[in-house]
Amino acid sequence: MILDLLPHRTAGAAENMAADFLLLQRYPEPARARFRHYDWRGPAFTFGYGQKIAYVREQIAALAPGEHADLTRRPTGGGVVDHRDDWTFALVIPRGHALYDARATESYRQVHADLVAALRDQGQPVVLKERCDSACDTSESDLPTLNPQRSTPPPSGPTVCFIRPELYDVLHAGTGAKVAGAAQKRTKHGLLFQGSIAKAVLGPVDWDAFEEAFTTRLAATLGAETMPSPWPEFAEGEHDGLTEQYSSPEWIEYR
């Protein structure tokens, strides 16, 4: 198997989510996985497919009062993710691979174990959360998301998914703050893993060296070799059309 390392790109929220989804849906070869790290054109938030927009807007108003930020609904689950100071990545694993067939908790654990090892290579004191709380939800449709501003669980209620670290999230060993979370989506084409690392929770990191270590470990987990690869060619207008959909009020506000 090959792990394609795609070129770095900077884009808006709708463009980034459209690209991730197309990497999943238009995956050309069963023997190739794909990885990309990407940035955001400006302040941005994304939120899970099943979230209600009124609740999302309340959370963003609390996190970024008065600030205009790009916003879109993700194709994956989970709550609100603040992308204003994060390191974002997407991994697509083709159908038929063992991690595609594994339970959502197992694929989540393995990818985050590689992330933990790569951050430790940078001297960061991080650990996996390996015990599930009584209300812990590890379902694929609602996997955990990231709030670097808070490290302790709130009372039970609708904010739990947004704030509380979940099983196999990445935590700071010293403070207990959540360092990384992600969400997954499986289709007949493969598994999409969208992840976010809160930079503010960590000390200084050489992010280029981290990415090399992370992708090397991911390749070993997948039984693959890394290969820098050009951006795939989608059908004419396909990415623009999906970006337009992800920017539309119908998509953002449909719940």
pLDDT of residue 138: 43
Write down the CATH number for the domain with range 2-252.
3.30.930.10
Provide DSSP, the chain: -EEEEPPPEEE-HHHHHHHHHHHHHT---TTEEEEEEEEESSSEEEE-TT--HHHHHHHHHHHSTT---EEEE-SS-SS-EE-TTEEEEEEEEETTSHHHHS-HHHHHHHHHHHHHHHHHHTT--EEE--S--TT----GGG-----TT--S---SSTTHHHHS--TT-EEETTT--EEEEEEEEE-SSEEEEEEEEEGGGS----HHHHHHHHHHHHHHHHT-EEEE-PPPPPPTTHHHHHHHHHHSHHHHT--
Q: Each residue's pLDDT tens digit in the chain (255 positions)?
A: 999 999 999 999 999 999 999 999 987 677 899 999 999 999 999 999 999 999 999 999 999 998 899 999 999 998 899 999 999 999 999 998 999 999 999 999 999 999 999 999 999 999 999 876 654 544 443 333 443 333 333 333 333 333 567 888 999 999 999 999 999 999 999 999 999 999 999 999 999 999 999 999 999 999 999 999 999 888 889 999 999 999 999 999 987
Model-level pTM? 0.87
pLDDT of residue 26: 84
pLDDT of residue 146: 40
pLDDT of residue 28: 66
Domain residue spans of the chain: 2-252
pLDDT of residue 236: 86
